[in-house]
Structure 1
Amino acid sequence: MHAPDFWSQSDPGILSRLLWPTSLIWSGVSALRHRYISPVRMDIPVYCIGNVTLGGAGKTPVSLDLAQRLIKQGAQPHFLSRGYGGSASGPLRVDPAHHSAAQVGDEPLLLARIAPTWIGADRVASARMAQKAGATHLIMDDGFQNPGLHKTASLLVVDGAVGFGNGCVFPAGPLREPVASALARTNAVLILGDQAAPHLKRDLSGFPGPILSVHVVADRPDALPIGAKCIAFAGIGRPEKFFATLRGLDLDLLLTQEFPDHHDFSSQDIEALEKQAQTLGGTLVTTEKDAVRLPAAFRSQVVSVPITLDWPPSVDPLSLLTQGRAHAV
C-alpha cells in the first residue's frame, strides 16, 4: 500500500479530519483488545520489537542484532512472526531450504538465517512450539499491537526521518494506535537513522524511558566498489531511504525503481530489470529483504546490500530488555 501524502504532513489537513471518525473506531477496537484480552505468560523471556506506524520502521534489523547478541552469550533465541505476505497459516517453523517468501513472508526468511523462526497469527501457539523446541528466549519481530502474549519487554522502533507522520491513527494517518498508548507499553524507544522528523522530539517528550538514536550502517559488498554503476530497485516501506544509503556508499545510481512493500516480483518485472541492466550497463542492486523474494536464478544476478546497526557506545542493547518499564510521574 502506498501511503497517501497527507499522512506525512505536519498539519493533518481536511482529509484526515474527514476520516477521523473512522480512526476513532479503529483506536477503540485496539483499546478494547488490550483491555479485555488476558495475555498468556511464558516460562521464558518474550521480547517484542515493534512499531506504531504502518509500513517499515526497521524492526527486523533490530531483531536480528539482538538475537545475535543473545547467541554470543550462549542463549538459544527463537523468532516469532506473523509471516505477513505468506500463504502458510502456521504455526510452523520456517525452513529456508524449502520455504519461499510467497509461503512464509520475506522477513521470516531473513530471521531464519540467524535463529529458528516460527510463523503464525496465533502467537501463543507459536511460542509454545518454540519453547518445546528448545528456545531460551523469544523475540517477536512484530506483534506489538497483539495482546495475546505477555511481553517481558518491548522496544518501539521509529524511523527517524518519518517519525509518527501527521500523528493520526489509520485511516486518517499512519498510526496503528495512538502514540501515548503505545509508549505506555514500551521499555525503550529506538530512533533509527540520521534524520529527525518534525515534532518527533515533542511527541516523545513525555516518555520516561530511554530514547536512543541508532545509526543504520550499510556494509559495502565486494561487488560494489566506489563509483560502481548501479540500477537499484526496492520493494520496502521507504525505497528512497535505501537509494540514499547507496548514494552514501558513493555508488553511481543510473536508475532507481520503486515497488510496493513486500512486492511479489513477476516475470515481467524481472525481464524489465534485466533489460535495464543490459541497456545501461549497470549492476542490479537491492535490499536483503527484496532479494529473498527473487527467484533463485535471477537472485544470482543481483547484489544485495546488508545493513547493521551502530548503537551508542555507552549502551548495552541487551540491557534495554532486562530493565523495568519506566513510569511517568
Structure 2
Amino acid sequence: MSATKRGDYMPLADIQAKLIPQLAEARVNRVTLTGGEPFMHPALIEIVADFREAGMGVGVCTNATMVTDDQISQLASLGAHMNVSLDGFSAESHGKFRGRPEGFSETVEAVKQFGAVGILQGLLCTPNNLAEDDEYRQLCEFARDQGAKYVLMNPLGEMGRGANSSRKLRRPEEHMHYIRAITLPFVDDGLDMVHIRFPNDEKPLSGCEAGTIIYVFTKGEVAVCPYLVFAARTKVSRHPDTDFIIGNVWTDSDIADRLDAYKFHERWDLGANPTCGGCSMSKDCGKGCPAAVVAAGQRIGAVDTKQCPVVPHQPRRLPVVGVS
C-alpha cells in the first residue's frame, strides 16, 4: 500500500477505521508500506503498530534517509522489516540517481543500523547507467554483510517511475547479462538474488500474481496490480486503468467481495495469441508480465515480446492521432 506520495498522506483515522478492517476481511496477512517515502508520514510508527495489532506482518520500503534512531528502535520492537532502495554503491551513482549525493552515506548508515537490530529484509536496486557494473557486486557484498535476506534488481521500464527516464538511464542488455553473472554467485552465500525482467534467452516466462498481491493507492483506489495501473496510464495503452482497479477503500465497504469476484486469470487469457498457442513451452510458461504488454500498446493476451525467447522483440506501438 502507498502510505504517502507527493505530500499526500493516508489519514490515520481512516487507516484504522476503514483500511485495516477491510484488508483483514480480505484475508491479507502481510502488508508493505511504500510511497513516495513512508517516513514522511507523521504517524508511520503508529500505522505499523496498528497493522501488527491486527495480526499482519509489516514491511517498509524506504530510501532510509529520514529514519531516526528512536524509530529504528520502535520498528525493531514491533517486529517490522525494512526494504531499502540502493541504486548504486557510490555517492556519485546512487546520489545522482536519487537527486541527493549526500543520500548515499545516509542510506548506507541506516542499512547498517537495520542490520544491527535484525530488521533488514532486503535491498531494492534499479540498475542504471550512472553506476559502474562492479558497483552491483559491491552492493551485494554489502547486503550479505549486513544480514539482508535478498537483493531485488529491477531495471527501468516504460511505466511508472521509469516512464520518463528509461531510454536515458536504462542499462544496455549486454550490461544486464554481466550484472546478473557477477551477482548470481551471492546465492551461494545465502543471499536470495531476484533479477526482475533481465534479458531472457531461453527460459519459459514466469507467471502473474495480479489479484494475489494487491495495491492500495494513497487516494484509496485498490488495484489488483500497481504495474497494470501504471501501464494503463501510459499514452499507448489500449486498456483503461479501471480494468485493474476494483474499488476505493475509502468509499466502498465491500473490498473483500470485490477482490474475490475479480479473478484475474479467468477474466484475462494471457496466452490468447497464435505464438503462445503453438509454442512447445506454453504449458510450462506463465506468459510473462501483462503490465509490460499493456505498456507496449497491446491488449492483454499478446506476447510479452521483451521477455519471450521465442519471438524477436517488437517495436513499441505508437499512438495515431487524427488532426483533420
Pick the TM interval, shorter chain: 0.3 to 0.5
Give the number of the structure whose residues are more often strand, by fraction. Answer: 1
TM-score under structure 1 length normalisation = 0.33
Give the number of the structure whose residues are more often helix, by fraction. Answer: 2
TM-score under structure 2 length normalisation = 0.33
